[in-house]
Structure 1
């Protein structure tokens, strides 16, 4: 899934014209913008997330156990050690080269699948090449995002990994092989016969190359060791992520909200509920003109009723409020640029003013802050700056790299007190699986289909947003908060390869292979 990360770290030409205004224009600008700021931000009292001390006027978040406490594992623990049958890797002269595809989390799970495939095929893995040609257009290399040395060393007891092909093999012909999706061990044992004719097999795509179920326990545990221990983020990303988590936690508990209300996601899913005609037409045109998106004609109403649309910011606000989270709750927005900007985000902010972002959402706000800092009253200036969690200096090296920015979101989401995804995508699945692995930290998965029924009743006047709604929403999500359970199998009635497609992802819930009772 696309996960566009936008940056406002530099000013565009329009912004620069405001930085040296004439005395008259300053006076006029002051009057107009000051009045606009006061009206626009009068309902917002956002608590500070910068280094400077500031006391919020909102009451502290209620320390309610049912809102924040996770299950603490219910006696389940990590179990990833190899069995006694597991042997060290053999030293062989055959290699696997890989080009990852997709966004950050699609590449992460793909890399771990290739680690397991290299083990099955008894091949040396060359450090994978990351996707630079997809929607994200990210030029990051493996070592920009991940700790390459740690990755190699941590897996030395499992497979051989090299940074590049030996020179004598670099010019030799390679077998180019598109591995089948959700493949078994027997499939890769058969494919290994290609090494009789070639020293190198090249894999153009890495996502979903291994089955979710029915694999040897040692292969499943290797996938977990690769993902949760070997494939660590690079030191600069780790350090910044830790720093931002500490800033958030200095104000108490917080929710990480993976709000997938972004242009590419709405276009891909065909979800236009609540948008005007021109916005809906723009999203449809984007979908029709994106070649690798196979489905072009989508019924938006059917998508929403079936629960296949991301929740809107307004719906997320209603949902969290119905669960009992108070307005003072800190919510970190783990996402790219919101579709429609503040037009739709304001519905969520009206219920939860303490929304926190990595950076300012748009250049317009950045221009306004930088222009008006010397003349705006301190409290107004503070309200602008409080939305951001990191400084421009801290983010300058990653804001232009979508995958590195996504890594920061991932760290903050994994370490949050509560994680809430508004849609089930690659990041939502990866974060949920990681949180399950870490003693089943609280993860609330909205029942989008059930919630849409309630929202429609509210819109039709059949249900009011009052004390009646809260018990309905709470009861609906009692068993959707990340407590231990075995991974789901395929949907009933599915046959053939379609059955494999509907299974719950191994990386979404690695129980029982990597999580077991004491």
Structure 2
């Protein structure tokens, strides 16, 4: 009986000790779990901090790389275009025959250049080549005084006349005016067929049998793409890029204008939209215009006698690529090339048709837009755009 009780007491004591140990183990396990959880939290926090630092560093490097790439891309926009292996082609070949000064002395070609300045330059270069082919003396061309601009400038107002004559003296005989004794004699008025080749102009020399003077009322014969001999094309290049040098007052004014344009930020875009009233009326392009604007252009085209085509389908013109870009389309094009919104743009043209209403999209995409930079030079107040206005232009833009 006593033994039984002692044994029971021992079992009770052992159970108590066991339970006490279990509680201690649970506490230890709980502490371990808490410590482990805390360690995991610290690890996660530290890892996240490290990852954030790595991510920030990576983003910084990417941003720096993108910035460098953007700077390089923007830099390329302002670089000179690649020549693609092309080079000036004005030197004579061994086969080229230099014209004797007396050749063509009794045959004269008078010319009235038509269109804007660039068109007149190209036309004059064509007429130099034609005079050479036809063995004729070229009289200094008359400038277009009946166009939209109503410009009263003469050849010598715009170009260095003496330089033009002397530069081409080995190519064609050039005189300042028709000899007095030939002013009253009958002359033939000839519209040369555009894009004609050498054979055509050789055939035209038959006119010298009956006439001493051939008058060409339009100079745009478009000799560029009709398989003329290389030396004739070189002659056109010499006339265009060497002989047709601007007169001293215009050269001086041009340099001052460029200096003034660069004085603000250095780099800039001079954008000629070709979006003037006469251009749109001539081409019949009315995309984006109101009905009243389209009608105004139609009336202008109808009332301009020397514009032969009166009825034009604007949609077909645009589909055929014969219309200028709208100001909005020009803005999208410049953005696509990579020019940033901060780019300084000068509108190098006459009055944009429709004014601010049509320029709104361009101005919203490129806020640094300067209008009417050369409104005095290209004037719309009945004054010459090249010569008569030089003094007033200088006062307005350069003072």
TM-score past 0.5 threshold: yes
1:67 maps onto 2:80 in alignment: no
Residue 344 (1) aligns with residue 349 (2): no
Are residues 1:77 and 2:91 paired? no
Tell me what 2:326 maps to. 312
Q: Counterparts of 1:31-430 in structure 2 under 5 Å?
A: 64-90=74-100, 91=102, 92-208=105-221, 210=223, 212-250=225-263, 251-359=265-373, 400-402=383-385
Q: Do the aligned residues in 2 keep the contact of 1:62 with 1:326 (CA within 8 Å)?
A: no
- The CA distance in 1 between the partners of 2:380 and 2:147, in whole Å, is 21
Question: Which stretch shifts more, 137-146 or 348-357?
Answer: 348-357
Determine helix, strand or coil for the equivalent of 2:84: helix
- SS state of the match for residue 77, structure 1? coil
Cα distance per residue 1:195-248 (max 9 Å; x no partner):
233222222221125362311111110000000000111111111112212222
Any gaps of 5 or more consecutive residues in structure 1?
Answer: 1-60, 362-391, 408-518
- What secondary structure sits across from 1:96 in the alignment? strand
- SS of the residue 1:310 aligns to: coil
* Separation of aligned partners in 2, 1:87 and 1:360: 43
Distance 1:142 1:158 in 2: 20
Contact kept, 8 Å, 1:184 with 1:211, in 2: the verdict is no
Q: CA deviation at 1:134?
A: 2.9
TM-score of the aligned structures, taking structure 2 as reference length: 0.72
Structure 2: runs of 5 or more not aligned: 1-69, 391-399
Q: Distance in 1 between matches of 2:245 and 2:380?
A: 19
Over 3 Å counting, the alpha-carbon distance change for 1:74 and 1:269 in structure 2 is closer
Q: Distance in 1 between matches of 2:242 and 2:154?
A: 20
Task: Determine the C-alpha separation between the residues in 2 that align with 1:398 and 1:187.
Answer: 43
Deviation at 1:133, TM superposition (A): 2.1
**Secondary structure, in 3 states, of the residue corresponding to 2:87?**
strand
Taking the aligned partners of 1:335 and 1:406, their CA distance within structure 2 comes to 16
Residues 117-169 of structure 1, C-alpha deviations (whole Å, 9 max, x = no match):
11111111111111112333211111111111110111111111110122232
Q: CA deviation at 1:404?
A: 6.1
Whether the 8 Å CA contact 2:378–2:386 is kept in 1: the answer is no
Task: Tell me the matched-pair count.
Answer: 316
Q: Deviations over 1:403-437 (max 9, x none)?
A: 66999xxxxxxxxxxxxxxxxxxxxxxxxxxxxxx
Greater relative contact order structure (CA < 8 Å, 6+ sep): 1
Contact 2:349 2:372 in 1 (8 A): no
Alpha-carbon separation, structure 1, partners of 2:344 and 2:291: 34
Measure, in 1, the Cα distance between the counterparts of 2:214 and 2:311: 38
SS of the aligned residue for 1:74 comes to: coil
Q: CA RMSD in A?
A: 2.9
Q: Distance in 2 between matches of 1:259 and 1:295?
A: 23
Structure 2 distance, partners of 1:159, 1:277, is: 51
Q: 1:334/1:405 Cα in 2 relative to 1: closer, same or farther (>3 Å)?
A: farther
**75-84 or 142-151: which moved more?**
75-84
TM value normalised by structure 1: 0.56
Deviations 1:80-109 (A, max 9, x none): 111112222131322211122222222111
